[in-house]
């Protein structure tokens, strides 16, 4: 058998069930790779080797009896924004460096009950507030394994780094403004942001629901496998719904001919996309046409003008400003990162009316996208406006510039969180410097199975090659 990490998650599960490999062997393989490689990659916040081996032993007992659940024996790590009973959960903050929850979050509980073996917590920025993964807890930011001098994006940077480097078979992640899709693009992976309500945010509830958990994987089939487990809403979810089909089954059937709207305009005045980002979208459009889909280039449905930028900044800062006092005791707030302190200070200046007006403006912005795209089944864009950025890029000119720089790079993704549509980022190609680019597919609300089937069709049509970074072979 090949090195175990070379097998897809689906093939690893098949090998576990047929007895070709034990969960202990598989878990030890990944723990060894984590120990050997992660110091230079920054993928993990916490590694739980002893716990993982105990869970692997229990999984092997179940497998020996022929009793297994969908993820039985498969190693997995949880993004460190989500509570895990008995495992340190820092939310990316040094102020919570010793926080150990007593209960799992809803989705973590689903994954553990499905038999996943938890090997640790993946790296994330403080409270998930940036599209780069750097904090005061870990010594190393999460970097793309294709160039360790560049960020793996964020806030699911640790998960993407781990999957791309062969430290995990598949990754648990979350996305509030692109935080699954941009790390997937930066690491040559598949990243799925589900429709609003498909994956529960419990125990959190909100009338403005923009964030959601989802999978990061090497293949569309592996992403669908994990999404099938995660897509089980909590009964009290305001937007909860259940799919009528298995996503793992859906990706095996090509979709019907679809009408696709494509644009590469960033929607930001004065900002042009990198030529390789445009090339990525054009490659995908050509293949979609070859596969029988109707692709039409359109103008970006809504521009992100200065007022919209301000509304995004107000909404974002106010969100962080609510979270920090809830989670961080006053005596520890001096340990917060400079950008977090900047957001908290900004949020203190907003009135309730300011926040409500910002939310109203963003709702109109999102509605414009929905109205324009009503005649289309799918939207196609680049995932990012350029390649992964160098370490230190966002803070080079001070915390005041971070928000604008992040929006410039990730400008294609936040609108999808506002509309609640499903989106998948799939790999495209590596440029002449070996840096990855991805493209984003956005489907109709609650048409997650269809957009996954389209992504699988592009994978089958060889939109991207099965490439790996140098550390994959170490």
DSSP string, 107-162: HHHHHHHTT-EEEEEE---GGG-SSS---SS-SS--B-TT-TTBB--SSSHHHHHH
Report, as an integer, the average pLDDT of 105-122. Answer: 98
Determine if residue 37 is left, alpha or beta; phi over 0 gives left, psi from -120 to 50 gives alpha, anything else beta: alpha
- pLDDT of 409-423, one tens digit each? 999 999 999 999 999
Selected catalytic residue, list 22, 23, 79, 193: 79
> In terms of residue numbers, what domain contains 215?
4-473
Mean pLDDT across the chain = 97
Reference 178, options 161, 149, 156, 204; nearest CA is: 156
- pLDDT of 212-269, one tens digit each? 999 999 999 999 999 999 999 999 999 999 999 999 999 999 999 999 999 999 999 9
76-90, 151-165, 198-212: the lowest-pLDDT one: 198-212
Tokens 């800062």 belong to which residue? 317
Contact 426, 458 (CB under 8 A): yes
Reference 83, options 225, 201, 178; nearest CA is: 201
> Residue 142 pLDDT > 70, yes or no?
yes
What gap in Å lies between CA 29 and CA 450, rounded to an integer?
35
> Residue 2 pLDDT > 80, yes or no?
no
State the CB neighbour count (10 A cutoff) for residue 183: 37
Report, as an integer, the average pLDDT of 268-272. Answer: 98
Reference 120, options 183, 58, 50; nearest CA is: 50
- Which pLDDT band holds residue 280 (cuts at 50, 70, 90)? very high
What's the predicted TM-score (pTM) here?
0.98
Backbone angles phi, psi at 152, to 5 degrees: -85, 15
> Residue 87 pLDDT > 90, yes or no?
yes
Q: Is 259 a catalytic residue?
A: no
- pLDDT of 426-468, one tens digit each? 999 999 999 999 999 999 999 999 999 999 999 999 999 999 9
What gap in Å lies between CA 409 and CA 277, rounded to an integer?
11
Determine if residue 292 is left, alpha or beta; phi over 0 gives left, psi from -120 to 50 gives alpha, anything else beta: left
Please name every residue paired with 143 in a beta bridge, in sequence order, or none if there are none.
151
Report, as an integer, the average pLDDT of 305-326. Answer: 96
Q: Is 179 a catalytic residue?
A: yes
- CATH number at 340 reads 3.90.1300.10
pLDDT of residue 439: 99
pLDDT of residue 283: 98
pLDDT of residue 302: 98
Higher pLDDT, 204 or 346: 346
Selected catalytic residue, list 22, 93, 105, 179: 179
> Residue 206 pLDDT > 90, yes or no?
no
Sign of the alpha-carbon dihedral angle for 38, 39, 40, 45: positive
List strands edge to edge, sheet with 259-262.
Answer: 171-175, 212-217, 190-193, 423-430, 436-443, 378-382, 259-262, 294-297
Strands 117-122 and 75-79: parallel
Selected catalytic residue, list 10, 153, 155, 174: 155
DSSP state at residue 349: T
- If one counts the domains in the chain, the total is 1
Please name every residue paired with 217 in a beta bridge, in sequence order, or none if there are none.
190
Report, as an integer, the average pLDDT of 311-325. Answer: 96
pLDDT of residue 1: 56
- Which pLDDT band holds residue 383 (cuts at 50, 70, 90)? very high
DSSP state at residue 459: H
> Residue 278 pLDDT > 90, yes or no?
yes
Q: Is 155 a catalytic residue?
A: yes
């Amino acid at each position: 058998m090949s090195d175990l990490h070379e097998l897809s998650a689906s093939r690893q599960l098949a090998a576990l069930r047929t007895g070709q490999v034990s969960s202990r062997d598989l878990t030890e393989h990944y723990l060894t790779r984590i120990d050997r490689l992660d110091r230079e990659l920054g993928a993990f916040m916490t590694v739980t080797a002893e716990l993982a081996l105990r869970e692997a032993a229990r999984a092997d007992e179940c497998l020996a009896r022929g009793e297994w659940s969908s993820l039985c024996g498969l190693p997995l790590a949880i993004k460190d924004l989500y509570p895990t009973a008995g495992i340190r959960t820092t939310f990316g903050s040094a102020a919570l460096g010793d926080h150990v929850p007593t209960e799992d979050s809803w989705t973590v509980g689903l994954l553990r009950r499905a038999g996943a073996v938890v090997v640790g917590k993946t790296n994330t920025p403080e409270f998930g507030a940036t599209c780069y993964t750097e904090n005061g807890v870990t010594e190393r930011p999460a970097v793309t394994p294709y160039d360790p001098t560049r960020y793996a994006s964020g806030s699911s940077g640790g998960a993407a780094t781990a999957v791309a480097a062969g430290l995990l078979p598949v990754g648990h992640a979350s996305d509030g403004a692109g935080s699954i899709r941009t790390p997937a693009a930066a690491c040559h992976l598949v990243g799925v942001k589900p429709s609003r309500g498909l994956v529960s945010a419990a125990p959190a509830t909100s009338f403005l629901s923009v964030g959601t958990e989802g999978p990061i994987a090497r293949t569309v089939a592996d992403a669908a496998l994990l999404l099938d487990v995660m897509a089980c809403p909590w009964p009290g979810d305001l937007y909860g719904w259940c799919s009528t089909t298995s996503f793992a089954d859906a990706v095996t059937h090509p979709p019907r001919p679809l009408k696709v709207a494509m644009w590469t305009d960033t929607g930001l005045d004065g900002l042009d996309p990198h030529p390789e980002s445009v090339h990525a979208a054009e490659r995908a459009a050509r293949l979609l046409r070859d596969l029988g889909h109707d692709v039409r280039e359109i103008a970006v449905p809504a521009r992100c003008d200065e007022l919209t930028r301000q509304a995004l900044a107000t909404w974002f800062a106010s969100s962080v400003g609510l979270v920090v006092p809830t989670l961080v005791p006053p005596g520890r707030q001096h340990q917060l990162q400079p950008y977090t302190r900047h957001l908290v200070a900004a949020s203190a200046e907003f009135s309730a009316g300011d926040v409500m007006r910002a939310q109203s403006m963003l709702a109109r912005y999102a509605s414009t996208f929905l109205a324009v795209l009503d005649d289309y089944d799918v939207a196609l864009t680049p995932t990012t406006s350029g390649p992964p950025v160098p370490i230190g890029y966002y803070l080079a000119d001070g915390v005041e510039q971070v928000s604008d720089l992040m929006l410039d790079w990730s400008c294609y993704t936040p609108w999808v969180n506002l509309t609640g549509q499903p989106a998948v980022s799939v790999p495209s190609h590596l440029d002449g410097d070996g840096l990855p680019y991805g493209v984003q597919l956005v489907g109709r609300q609650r048409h997650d199975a269809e957009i996954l089937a389209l992504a699988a069709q592009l994978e089958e049509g060889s939109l991207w090659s099965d490439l790996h970074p140098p550390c994959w072979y170490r």
